[in-house]
């Protein structure tokens, strides 16, 4: 016990020491008054003493009556009825209009004053004139209301009968009094506390508070003790600057791709119909090319790449290549010239292929793609996609599955399976599904496949099987952060961003 007492004494900060002698007062307000430490600091010091086991705090709610805005003014200038009474005690009798003017009261104050004085039979009203009825001693005497206002603040529960009456009268009048709920903080000393307040604080007076350069330099710390801190007491929170969590996740994906030996492709968000669709063997009457699904830019027309490539793509659509039948329609250059917001990063793959010299390599892209959609918890018009292609003469379907497995495992998706799927520009196509360990369901992670010859021949000049996959990325981010509403990725609420955890992969 003695050791404990000593430790506690050594841990008292100046405010705690200052209020310690007055703890027996039992209530925050009184302690603050006696110790001359303001209420906020007293309150904090009491909390700390509580943490140290010296006391326990109880909170009681009390209703308190105090002056309101008008009340404060009336206390200075006296109540309106007093001002009217003073006027009358001078004049004894006065015309209604003159009284209003000379009293300097507002319309409302005048009306109320009349009522109050009449009710107390201190004046009467006759033929448009006010007549004083009260006797001199009555006039001099303070009214119940005046006495009541002077004695504020008062506790509602402790009102005397005549105070209750004054309270009722004043309550209905405009902003004279106000009812405040006040928290009363009651201090109960513990056994330890009772012990400590009897101790001599003198010994702890000269303890070192904050260590300063002067103390270090002068050596004045020698032989002195440092005040002990309550290391368990809570401290104000701070938040640092950081990258947006979506971008942290994107960088992680970049890391995975580069570890797997892929080279990054980059390019514009605005693309031509040619690169986004035609070069990818997407038929011109395909529903995805309608404005319903794709954002087209108004009043703008693009330039097409060199004629040779355009003609090769056109031929692939119209009659097919390499024994394929193609789409068997008339390909329209105007559709290819439309400008749009890319609907997938696959347009970057198409460009990369068309510029490829040595016809091999591994490439990836990551970035925003767009779809003409409304916004709700599971939809948006902007989202993040990542995409990889492998160009290799000997590549095959099993390799595709191998890359997918490796990629998704690295992204943190352990239990995955492959099912058949359909995309207009890959064959075979595959859907990657992931078994969600908590939700116990299979979820789609994205599509993959081997580019069709109708796509590769125009771009590369020959058919090389190109493995391609392009999972959406938002689901990965949402799953990691346990976000249920897609909109949260884009809302930029500073509180949430400050608190958002780091991407720890």
Q: Specify the 3-state DSSP secondary structure of 41.
A: helix
Phi and psi angles of residue 173, each rounded to the nearest 5 degrees, phi first: -90, 160
Near another protein by CB under 8 A: residue from 303, 357, 440, 484: 303
Nearer to another protein, 76 or 330 (CB): 330
Tokens of 50: 């509580």
Nearer to another protein, 207 or 450 (CB): 450
Hey, CA dihedral for 431, 341, 255, 379, is it positive or negative? Answer: negative
The answer to whether 423 contacts another protein (rule: CB under 8 A) is yes
Tokens of 444: 């789609």
Q: Which one of the spans 102-110, 119-127, 135-143, 486-494 is the region binding another protein (CB under 8 A)?
A: 486-494
- How many Å apart are CA 447 and CA 56, to the nearest integer? 63
Near another protein by CB under 8 A: residue from 16, 109, 145, 454: 454
The answer to whether 439 contacts another protein (rule: CB under 8 A) is no
Near another protein by CB under 8 A: residue from 142, 155, 419, 501: 419
| For helices 69-77 and 144-151, angle between their N-to-C axes, nearest 10 degrees | 110
**Quick one: how far is CA 218 from the chain centroid?**
48
Q: How far is the CB of 329 from another protein (least distance, A)?
A: 7
Nearer to another protein, 165 or 302 (CB): 302
The answer to whether 335 contacts another protein (rule: CB under 8 A) is no
Closest CA to 446 of 486, 427, 418: 418
Q: How far is the CB of 466 from another protein (least distance, A)?
A: 11
Q: Which one of the spans 30-38, 66-74, 161-169, 234-242 is the region binding another protein (CB under 8 A)?
A: 234-242
The answer to whether 501 contacts another protein (rule: CB under 8 A) is no
Kindly identify the residues of this chain, within the stretch 239-298, that bind another protein according to CB under 8 A.
240-244, 246-247, 251, 254, 257-266, 268-272, 282, 285-288, 291-292, 295-298
The answer to whether 405 contacts another protein (rule: CB under 8 A) is yes
The answer to whether 341 contacts another protein (rule: CB under 8 A) is yes
What is the DSSP-derived secondary structure letter of residue 53? T
CA atoms within 13 A on the CB side of 38: 2
Kindly identify the residues of this chain, within the stretch 71-100, that bind another protein according to CB under 8 A.
none
Q: How far is the CB of 454 from another protein (least distance, A)?
A: 7
Tokens of 471: 């999972």
Q: How far is the CB of 385 from another protein (least distance, A)?
A: 7
The answer to whether 401 contacts another protein (rule: CB under 8 A) is yes
- How many Å apart are CA 404 and CA 448, to the nearest integer? 8
- How many Å apart are CA 116 and CA 79, to the nearest integer? 11
Q: Specify the 3-state DSSP secondary structure of 266.
A: coil
Nearer to another protein, 148 or 423 (CB): 423
Q: Which one of the spans 102-110, 167-175, 189-197, 337-345 is the region binding another protein (CB under 8 A)?
A: 337-345
Q: How far is the CB of 38 from another protein (least distance, A)?
A: 25
Kindly identify the residues of this chain, within the stretch 120-179, that bind another protein according to CB under 8 A.
none
Strands (E) across 349-451 are located at 361-370, 382-391, 416-420, 426-435, 442-451
The answer to whether 377 contacts another protein (rule: CB under 8 A) is no
- How many Å apart are CA 492 and CA 173, to the nearest integer? 48
Question: Beta partners for 265?
Answer: none
Near another protein by CB under 8 A: residue from 6, 373, 479, 488: 373
**Residues 448 and 459 sit within 8 Å (Cβ to Cβ):** no
């Amino acid at each position: 016990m003695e050791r404990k007492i000593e430790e506690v004494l050594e841990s008292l900060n100046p405010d705690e020491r200052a209020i310690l002698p007055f703890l027996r007062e039992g209530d925050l307000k009184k302690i603050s008054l006696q110790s001359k430490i303001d209420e906020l600091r007293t309150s904090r010091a009491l909390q700390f003493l509580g943490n140290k086991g010296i006391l326990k705090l109880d909170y009681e709610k009390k209703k308190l009556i105090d002056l309101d805005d008008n009340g404060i003014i009336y206390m200075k200038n006296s109540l309106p009825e007093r001002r009217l009474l003073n006027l009358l005690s001078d004049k004894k009798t006065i015309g209604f209009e003159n009284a209003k003017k000379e009293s300097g009261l507002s319309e409302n104050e005048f009306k109320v004053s009349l009522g109050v004085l009449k009710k107390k039979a201190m004046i009467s009203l006759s033929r448009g004139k006010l007549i004083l009825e009260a006797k001199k001693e009555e006039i001099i005497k303070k009214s119940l209301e005046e006495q009541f206002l002077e004695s504020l603040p008062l506790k509602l529960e402790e009102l005397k009968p005549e105070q209750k009456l004054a309270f009722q009268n004043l309550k209905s009048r405009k902003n004279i009094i106000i009812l405040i709920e006040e928290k009363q903080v009651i201090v109960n000393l513990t056994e330890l506390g009772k012990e400590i307040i009897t101790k001599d604080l003198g010994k702890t007076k000269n303890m070192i508070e904050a260590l300063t350069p002067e103390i270090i330099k002068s050596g004045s710390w020698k032989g002195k003790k440092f005040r002990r801190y309550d290391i368990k007491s809570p401290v104000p929170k701070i938040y640092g600057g950081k990258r947006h969590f979506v971008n942290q996740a994107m960088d992680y994906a970049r890391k995975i791709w580069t570890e797997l030996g892929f080279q990054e492709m980059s390019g514009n968000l605005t693309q031509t119909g040619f690169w986004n669709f035609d070069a990818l063997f997407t038929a011109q009457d395909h529903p995805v090319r309608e404005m319903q699904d794709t954002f087209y830019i108004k009043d703008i027309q693009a330039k097409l790449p060199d004629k040779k490539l355009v003609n090769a793509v056109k031929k692939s659509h119209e009659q097919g290549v390499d024994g394929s039948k193609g789409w068997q329609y008339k390909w329209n250059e105007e559709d290819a010239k439309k400008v749009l917001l890319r609907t997938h990063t696959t347009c970057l793959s198409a460009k990369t292929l068309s510029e490829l010299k040595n016809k091999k390599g591994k490439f990836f892209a990551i970035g925003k793609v767009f779809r003409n959609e409304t916004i709700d918890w599971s939809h948006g018009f902007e989202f993040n996609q990542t995409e990889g292609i492998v160009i290799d003469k000997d590549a095959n379907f099993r390799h595709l599955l191998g890359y997918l497995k490796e990629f998704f495992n690295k992204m943190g998706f352990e239990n995955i399976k492959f099912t058949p799927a359909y995309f207009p520009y890959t064959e075979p196509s595959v859907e990657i599904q992931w078994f969600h360990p908590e939700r116990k369901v299979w979820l789609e992670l994205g599509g993959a496949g081997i580019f069709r010859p109708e796509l590769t021949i125009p771009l590369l000049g020959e058919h090389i099987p190109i493995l391609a996959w392009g999972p959406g990325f938002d689901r990965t981010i949402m799953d990691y952060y346990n976000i249920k509403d897609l909109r949260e990725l884009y809302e930029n609420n500073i509180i949430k961003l400050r608190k958002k955890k780091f991407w720890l992969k």
